[in-house]
Chains A and B, each alone.
Chain A
């Protein structure tokens, strides 16, 4: 679906006119922008401060959605990696890459907002005994490694295969990391799932769900654009290769005809 749109957007074969926007994504972008403005108003002004945490609670409106989207993005990367290895479909390969980049961004945002929230609430930026914190950090480092492999150069299918194996390696190791950190300290400071414990006030809960929806729309918007950039890069390299092949073939044909002319 996105593939077709991206192909239409290639500016009728003129690479300088290629772009990644379309009427639908511009509309989506505007919705995301409006949603972000509404989220800021809700989170900073409308939602009440927490009884215990005070104004620090407002950070969860960014922290919780970005944490959930981090895992959505990395799950997409793992699925895309498996599909690349299985079907060799460039669509999945580019999807995996796009999701990894956006996931690393959300993961950094999760760790950052979590740390500055932890300072007033737990009285520390970082707690080694917390399972989710340490697991998320290791996941972040693994996915940075994924992006390093992506940018390490080489021919396309080899890079995709390497990256796909790193993506799967990260995915299978996350449960082990989680278990080991859980046993390591056998304690956790972390909030238990905030959405389901039924203690949140109505407007706080609404803002949290609203933040999640806005975050999800942003994720979709960013995925579409990042995917199209990846697809255009893929096309550009394929065209370069085709042109080079065509040039060599015409050289060979010219050499062949002059050779046969010589014989006659």
Chain B
């Protein structure tokens, strides 16, 4: 099981590494969104500082949409889904492996984004532990929900437009809780950041559970 998970995650990450899409397209896109938010808020430092956690996580949600599209298109081209089924790998292992690969890509983008908000928005970090843990937990949650929905839209012809309609409302609680946890970690608002982290973890567990149960059905029937 663990070996299967590693094989699936390794496959996706290797494709990503060789095509350099994350490095050459997704990270520049994320940086661009940060800069555009700066224009939208009139480069107003106090406003930007106050809004930094929300803008950070909005950018992550946009990037998630791209990363899940990529992860899905790997399987839909060349009948790779059939091959994955025929390989005799448990669907749960495929789900966990693909979600892990998406999470690794998102974490790489988030490292760049943290640098971006430090430089462009003048953010200061009060609590590194909370910041790092929030990133890890929120990213796992987002990757699990994204991977499930990616498999769900895989067989739909207009999947590029259907995916965000499904994904973004599901991720609304992640946006709220991760933003609040960052508010605490960046010291911009006094809130109970660790309680929000717990809510994020709950979201992650629920959606990973449903994903693990439903992924096999989706892989085999749609």
Contact = CB atoms under 8 A, between A and B. Distances in A.
Interface of A: 85, 138, 141-142, 144-145, 148-149, 152-154, 157-158, 161-162, 165-166, 168-170, 172-173, 176-177, 179-181, 183-184
A145 B168 CA distance: 10
12 contacts: A138-B172, A145-B162, A145-B166, A145-B169, A149-B166, A158-B222, A169-B148, A169-B207, A173-B173, A179-B199, A180-B172, A180-B173
A161 B176 contact: no
Contacts of A168: 210, 214
B221 A153 contact: no
Contact of B170 (A85, A142, A144): A142
Interface residues of B, number: 33
A170 B214 CA distance: 14
B33 to A, nearest CB: 22
B177 to A, nearest CB: 5
Contacts of A144: 165
A154 B202 CA distance: 34
Contacts of B153: 149, 162
B173 A172 contact: no
Interface string B207-222: 1001000100110011
Contacts of B207: 169, 172-173
A260 to B, nearest CB: 37
B98 interface: no
Contact of A162 (B152, B177, B195, B210): B152
A177 B173 contact: yes
Contacts of A162: 152-153, 155-156, 218, 222
A153 B173 contact: no
